[in-house]
Chains A and B, each alone.
Chain A
Amino acid sequence: MQLGKGNVCNELIAEYNAAGTLLKRYVHGIGSDDPLVSYDGAGTTSPTYLLADERGSIMAETNSAGTVTTKHQYGPYGEPINQSASRFRYTGQILLPGTALYHYKARVYHPKLGRFLQTDPIGYKDGMNWYAYVGNDPMNAVDPDGKSLKLLKAAFNIAKRMLKGDSGKDAIKGEAADFVDNVRTLTDGEFGVDDAIAVVDLATGFGKEAKDIAVASEKVLKPTISMQNPKNLIPTQTKSEMSGSQVKRLTKNMKENGFDESKPVSAWRNPSTGRLEIQDGHHRTAAAIKADLNEIPVEIWE
């Protein structure tokens, strides 16, 4: 397994077998424990989209057509109910293969017991019970790395109060000092004052950018379908990468049956030219032109 380094936590980004062959790749969102897409091997043509609930638990998986391929169910403490080889499960954590245990980075969590199997690295700062999971309130809280519920709340609290203009007050200075101290303790000195300030800066200044990214992602993930003249679509593959016989047979089929509307051509609108560039469907587009079709369905990605 290969872990990507982040400022706050490590995320699983790829899996290799013993021979060094790339088996799986994962793409994560900007938050922690936010796996979004997985790919088999090195390609990007068969994505599996991971759909999470409000706690970040992966509830379903879909293919590129939006068809649900896997559904997941959990008990109140994250007990996995269904069998699945899926890597990311309850609260977006890794379900250790062959067990019903979750890898919460600093600790291993046993959902049937509702307890961590190791003591809390932050000691009494998160309560008297060093094995408890999120203060025994799994419906309302998550613990991204087995130690940081309070830290996370503190960071948000400070960011929220700074946004309201409280930054000069003594109370917020005290909270910020505690926050820096906790960051230093929890990360064994790896992160200090500058890192803590950067986190608060990020939380207070990132709002607009995060929203813009979310809106852009929404557009990317939702193509529109419209009827287009196939002659207006720009090929991105040359004729030397196409099968002439396939174009001829598709043409014959289209002349007899018309264009199969359940299989629209995929095209990307090039922002610099505004033109639609074919991503998938070169043969169908060429056949539609030869069959004298004036309009075909095109799935347009912006």
Chain B
Amino acid sequence: MGAAYEAIFIIPYNANKRLTDDGWEFDSLNKLPAEKIDKLITSLELKLIEKYEGVSVYSSNGIKVSIFHDSTGSIEYVFCQVFDLLNNQTISEFCSNDSSLEFFKPA
């Protein structure tokens, strides 16, 4: 059985954010650097669990990460469902080291 999670989005810096009836959506001309996201996958020891419609879903202890690709394979944004709050700091530090990324935690 799962548990309540905390949502964190990694989006291109200054992307437009919209809260719709389905949840958050983002618009930006910029994409996320794939090599940076690969580093995040490594540092969180994530394992790929499924792929559908351009979404790659990874999980590890206390976190589930969905990576959204556009039709060209570029990364639009990353959605982190954090069950173990210890992961928050890792993601926050990861984003603070790169000015092209924005750490977005909905209030």
Contact B62 A45 (CB under 8 A): yes
Interface flags for A267-302 (1: CB within 8 Å of B; 0: not) read 010000000000111010010001000000001010
Given contacts A43-B61, A45-B83, A244-B20, contact A252 B53 (CB under 8 A): yes
Q: Which of A52-60, A127-135, A161-169, A235-243 contacts B (4 or more CB under 8 A)?
A: A235-243
Contacts of B23 in A (CB 8 A): 239-247, 283, 286
Contacts of B24 in A (CB 8 A): 240, 242-244
Interface flags for A202-241 (1: CB within 8 Å of B; 0: not) read 0000000000000000000001000000000000110111
Question: In the complex, how many residue pairs between chain A and chain B have their CB atoms under 8 Å apart?
Answer: 110
What is the CB-to-nearest-CB distance from A198 to chain B, in angstroms, rounded to a whole number?
Answer: 35
Please report the C-alpha to C-alpha distance between residue A42 and residue B50 in the assembled complex, in whole angstroms: 25
Please report the C-alpha to C-alpha distance between residue A252 and residue B22 in the assembled complex, in whole angstroms: 14
Q: Does B48 contact A (CB under 8 A)?
A: no
Given contacts A241-B5, A243-B9, contact A248 B54 (CB under 8 A): no
Residues of B whose CB lies within 8 Å of any CB of A are: 1-7, 9, 18-26, 50, 52-55, 61-62, 66, 68, 76-77, 79, 83-86, 106-107
Contact A41 B86 (CB under 8 A): yes
Contact A245 B76 (CB under 8 A): yes
Chain B residue, CB-CB nearest to A241: B7
What is the CB-to-nearest-CB distance from A28 to chain B, in angstroms, rounded to a whole number?
Answer: 20
- For this complex, into which size category does the number of interface residues on chain A fall? 35 or more
What is the CB-to-nearest-CB distance from B7 to chain A, in angstroms, rounded to a whole number?
Answer: 4
Contact A42 B53 (CB under 8 A): no
Partner of B79, one of A243, A263, A268: A243
Q: Does A15 contact B (CB under 8 A)?
A: no
Q: Does A2 contact B (CB under 8 A)?
A: no
Contact B7 A45 (CB under 8 A): no
Partner of A279, one of B1, B52, B84: B1
Please report the C-alpha to C-alpha distance between residue A40 and residue B44 in the assembled complex, in whole angstroms: 13
Given contacts A240-B19, A253-B52, contact A41 B61 (CB under 8 A): yes
Contact A246 B1 (CB under 8 A): no
Contacts of B83 in A (CB 8 A): 43-45
Contact B1 A280 (CB under 8 A): yes
Contact B22 A248 (CB under 8 A): yes
Residues of A whose CB lies within 8 Å of any CB of B are: 21-22, 40-46, 64, 223, 236-237, 239-250, 252-253, 263, 266, 268, 279-281, 283, 286, 290, 299, 301
Contacts of A248 in B (CB 8 A): 22
Contact A45 B66 (CB under 8 A): no
Contact B84 A286 (CB under 8 A): no
Contacts of A41 in B (CB 8 A): 61-62, 84, 86
Chain A residue, CB-CB nearest to B62: A43
Please report the C-alpha to C-alpha distance between residue A246 and residue B2 in the assembled complex, in whole angstroms: 18
Contacts of A242 in B (CB 8 A): 7, 22-24
Chain A residue, CB-CB nearest to B21: A239
Chain B residue, CB-CB nearest to A299: B1
| 6 residue pairs bridging A and B, Cβ less than 8 Å apart | A240-B24, A241-B23, A244-B19, A244-B23, A249-B68, A281-B2
Contacts of A44 in B (CB 8 A): 3, 83
Partner of B1, one of A43, A241, A263, A268: A268
Contact A240 B7 (CB under 8 A): yes
Partner of B86, one of A42, A246, A250, A253: A42
Please report the C-alpha to C-alpha distance between residue A46 and residue B26 in the assembled complex, in whole angstroms: 30
What is the CB-to-nearest-CB distance from B97 to chain A, in angstroms, rounded to a whole number?
Answer: 21
Partner of A45, one of B6, B84, B107: B84
What is the CB-to-nearest-CB distance from B44 to chain A, in angstroms, rounded to a whole number?
Answer: 12
Contacts of B25 in A (CB 8 A): 243-245
Please report the C-alpha to C-alpha distance between residue A245 and residue B18 in the assembled complex, in whole angstroms: 11
Contacts of B7 in A (CB 8 A): 237, 240-243
